[in-house]
Structure formats: structure tokens, C-alpha cells
Structure 1
Amino acid sequence: MTRPDHPAAGAVSDDALFGSEAADYARYRPGLPDAAVHLLAATQHGVPEPVLLDLGTGTGQVPRALLPVLHRLVHIDLVDVNQHMLETALTALDPVRGTCTVNTFTGEAHTFTPTAPGRAPSLITCCRSFHWMSRPEVLAMADQEAAPHAALAIMGDGSLWTHESEWTVALRGLIQTYLGDDRRAGTRGTYAGPGRSYEEDVADSAFSDVAEHRFPVARAWTPEDVLGYLRTTSFARPALFAERHHEFEAEALGLLKAHARGGVLKEDAEFTVLLARRPGGAA
């Protein structure tokens, strides 16, 4: 595995958001549905030496899921603003990467430049992180760096903040009693949704051949796992509560246990993949 000794020139690791929560992130964040993983792998049919560029990789969930399915992957570039996340991702990939090489890039996604010449990505992925990015600039970078036949996948499934069920509505209300009605966004104040849809962003880019794929996902949470998940979110991370975090977690645990059935909280989610290519760019 390639492990650069230093971040990319000029890069600064943004550890203020999720810097200390990488272990919780790896443990509590839901993975990708199997159907979505196989969809991504299928985009590389006919590509002799696939190369993955994973933007906003976090703890490396996307490459970790792809490697056992797409055995022909020869190289992976991991991009994140958080050095702790990248270190966690590298550790997670070590047991499964085989001969696949892995490079890391610390910095914002649109500033990515490859460190390995001749490794143009044939698959670019961005899972649950596109909303944090300068989207037009990211798409322009992808066009500049990607192989002619490359596929681009923008993926996500919302969060427990946006999910509508009895227990998530009650939990959201509790968070609001501590932090205010507006959804908090870590070190960046409050969160406002994108001015337009991801579909519009991608359709206006070089990757204008866009198809949407939706996969239903049924999850079962324990109350304790929900608390672990909340610690990894931008809307309920511990620093937002300051000295009241323990108080919040105790109250949240009681609320979640009251809503649990047989110790389980159910979430019926939908995982969406926007799969895009340049017109005429199918492999």
C-alpha cells in the first residue's frame, strides 16, 4: 500500500469536524447496501484495470465494500479533509486490499490531484458527503481527472434527522430542545439544504448521462447504537452540547428505550445512487 509521508502540498487537515470521532464513525455509520455495491462493480465491466477515486471517503466504507466484489481494482485514491478519517480508512483497507495500491489526499475534494501518474479513475464515488462540497468544482475536477469511460456515482440515504418515524421525530425534538430548532452543522453553523438537486448539478456537468437507482434498506438499531451514531453527525456531535452532552445522552437513551420494541428501533430507509457518465462514455 502506498502511504504518502505528507499530505498533498498546501493541504490542511480539517479535524475540527469529526476529528476525534473517526472510531465511532467506523463503528456506527451504516454501510452500503449490497445491491448498490454490485451496481458500482458492474460499471467496471470490460475495464481491465479499474481505478477508484473515492471523494469524502471518511473511514473508507466505499472501497471497503467494493474490494471483495471488484477483485480487479488496481489502485484507489482516498480523498478527505480529515487526516484521522484517512488513517482509519487505511487501517480498514489493509486486510482486504491484496495487491491494490492506495494513496491518500488530505484536502477538499475539488482540489484533488493524483499522486500516481497514469492512474486515471474509471470509477469516482462520493457517498453521503456531496452536500459538504463545492459541487460544480468537484464535477469539473472529475471531468479533468477521469478516464474517458469513467462512471461517477453520487450516493446517499439521508440521516436520522431527516427520517420520519415516531422515534426519530421524538429524537429530533429532543435535540432541538438542547440546540435550537435549526439543524446544526458542526463548525459551520446551521445547515441549509442545497439550492438545487444533485441531479441538476450532475446533469449540467460533463457527466450529463444520469440514471437514478433506489434501493430500500431496512435497519434495526439498538438505543446504544443510535447514541454512537449521533456522536458522528454534524447535527448532534458532542462538542455542540459542551458540558451538557452527558445530560443529553442520558435523556436520549431513556427516550430511545421507551420507543424501542424488543430493544430494537426500526428504520426503513432508501439508498439512492446517481450514476452518471459522459454522453457515449459507457465502457
Structure 2
Amino acid sequence: MVNEVSFEPDLYRGTAGYYDRFRLPYPEAMITNLARLAALSGHGRLLDLACGTGQLAFPLRDRFTEVWAVDAEPDMTEVVRAKAIAAGAAHIRTITASAEELRAEPDSFELIVIGNAFHRLGRAPVAQRAYAWLKPGGYLALCWSTGPWTGPQAWQRALDSMLRKWQDALGASGRVPPGWERARQQDPDREVLSRAGFELSGRHEFSVEHHWTIRELAGYVRSTSFLPPSVLAYRAAEFDADLTAELSRHAAGGRLTEMVSFAYELVRKPTPA
């Protein structure tokens, strides 16, 4: 069995405002596709686990009579709570708890979604708990999106290099545990889910072209766990100046274009024979 890598529980402290403003929304085509394949009744309960600021809870909320938005970071759930009040979405319930400690009744959710976070959780125990929480025939969706530094373009390679340089300079290289990708390569998510009893239902991918400004990218970086505002601290202005100098040479009309990849892995809790 592969040893899981542990992430510190408060890596996103102070990022919620940036996370909500600068993280890209999941495309409507993906949300619609997920709702169709999960055969939502319109009367069930949704669990958005490790919800961030509700990037999945809000676009899915009208398809459920109750939504649980759960995150271990109180800053995140506070933003979700404020957004729910502003939207008049009284059926969104915010809970500050880790996925490993959340209490929920068996067979109580029609759909569970986890956005860009399964690798940060105790995958095996969370998969087992999610299996128990789902109604028979219910679905779990692991949702993902790529970051702007992961692509092949010159500006993306330059951004990736610059971010690594700043992590080293600020002593932040260890905030994301080394080897976390290796654990998932050696024991893929779908294998973890299969051992928990889930039936695999397929992976679905969507691509969206997005045009960034350098200012938006600076905000996005502040939404990350590896260079949040608390780490940039008094060197934030210096970082922004370096980012502008590095990326301006690549910007066309002040914009940097990428093809963002979104995807979700869908699994199902089987119904009794």
C-alpha cells in the first residue's frame, strides 16, 4: 500500500477572497453534463466536500433541495455563507470541518463532489466515508482544473519557473509536500475509489480558452497554498513587479491566453442486487 502524503490543514488561510475572485469557474457544459449523467432527481441533497468558496456548490445548487458546503478552512466557509445569503440560497448549509471528521448520516446524499482537493485528503478513508454517505445509486464526482503554470506555452513555462524561484526565496518550497504526485501515480484515484466499493462511470473532459491579465494572475497566485498572502507578506509588491516584468514580454494586448482543461471522474455507489 502506498503511503499517503499529508498536507497541513491551514495552507489556504487568508486566501479565500482571492480564491473566490480569481479561480476560474467550472464551465456550464461540465456542470450540465455532470447533472445529466448523475441522473439528479431535483429533490436530493448535495455534499460539496472541501468546497473552497463554493465553485461547485453554487452552480449545482438549483438541482437540490439541500446543499452541504464543507471545508476545513473557516475563511472559506465564511465566504460561502455570505454568498449564500446574498443569493437568497437558504438551502446551502455551511460546515467547517475536515472531510475526515465530518459527521453525516448513511445514505443521505444523492451526489458528492470534490473539486481540486481529493489529493489533499486522506483518500482511502474519505472514499470509504463518501461511499457510506451516498444513497445506493448515488454518484461521487472528482472535479479538476489545470493551473495557469502547467501548460506548454512560453509564458506558462516562465510563470512556472518564476513561482519556483519565489518559493525558494521565501522558504515556501515545503508547503506542498514533495512526492504528492507520486502517491497518486502509484495508487491512482480510481483504484482508491474502486477498493471502497464504487463502480467506475468514466472520465469527462472539457476545454475552455481563457485570457488572463497579469493582475489577475497575481491574484490567482495569492489563492494558492504555496504562495498565499501570508507567505508573500512584505515582499508582495516586489513579487508583483517581478511577475509584471517577466510576463509583459509574452503578453499580447495585455493578455495571456491559455486553454484551460477541466475534467471530472464519475463513480457510482451500486444499488443492491
For normalisation by structure 2, the TM-score amounts to 0.86
Tell whether 2:26 aligns with 1:28. no
Task: Write the letter of the residue equivalent to 1:77.
Answer: W
Secondary structure of 1:25's counterpart equals helix
| 1:53–1:46 CA distance, 2 compared to 1 (3 A) | closer
- Alignment partners' CA distance in 2, 1:48 and 1:16: 34
Tell whether 2:215 aligns with 1:218. no
2:189 corresponds to:
198
Q: Is the 8 A contact 1:131 1:194 kept in 2?
A: no
Deviations, residues 209-260 of structure 1 (Å, cap 9, x unaligned): 2311011121111110000000011232233344433212211022222211
2:53 corresponds to:
59
| 1:85–1:214 CA distance, 2 compared to 1 (3 A) | same
1:110 corresponds to:
100
**C-alpha RMSD over aligned residues:** 2.5
- Alignment partners' CA distance in 2, 1:63 and 1:140: 22
Q: Is the 8 A contact 1:186 1:237 kept in 2?
A: no
Task: Write the letter of the residue equivalent to 1:25.
Answer: Y
Q: Is the 8 A contact 1:16 1:187 kept in 2?
A: no
Structure number with higher relative contact order (C-alpha < 8 Å, ≥ 6 residues apart): 2
- Alignment partners' CA distance in 2, 1:93 and 1:177: 38
After the TM superposition, which residues 37-186 of structure 1 pair with which residues of structure 2 at under 5 Å, given as runs?
A: 37-45=31-39, 47=41, 49-68=43-62, 70=63, 73-96=64-87, 98=89, 101-114=91-104, 120-180=108-168
Aligned counterpart in structure 2 of residue 245 of structure 1, from 236, 240, 248: 236
Q: CA deviation at 1:97?
A: 5.1
Residue ranges of structure 1 left out of the alignment (5+ in a row): 1-13
Tell whether 2:242 aligns with 1:254. no
Q: Is the 8 A contact 1:216 1:271 kept in 2?
A: yes
Tell whether 2:224 aligns with 1:229. no
Secondary structure of 1:206's counterpart equals coil
Q: Is the 8 A contact 1:33 1:217 kept in 2?
A: yes
Q: Is the 8 A contact 1:154 1:274 kept in 2?
A: yes
| 1:103–1:26 CA distance, 2 compared to 1 (3 A) | same
Q: Which region of structure 1 is more displaced relative to structure 2, 47-56 or 199-208?
A: 199-208
Q: Which region of structure 1 is more displaced relative to structure 2, 244-253 or 272-281?
A: 272-281
Task: Write the letter of the residue equivalent to 2:206.
Answer: F
Q: Which structure dedicates a bigger proportion of its chain to helix?
A: 2
Q: Give the share of equivalent positions with the same residue, in percent.
A: 27
Structure 1 segments, 4+ long, off by >4 Å, are 183-191
Residue ranges of structure 2 left out of the alignment (5+ in a row): 1-7
- Alignment partners' CA distance in 1, 2:110 and 2:60: 14
For normalisation by structure 1, the TM-score amounts to 0.83
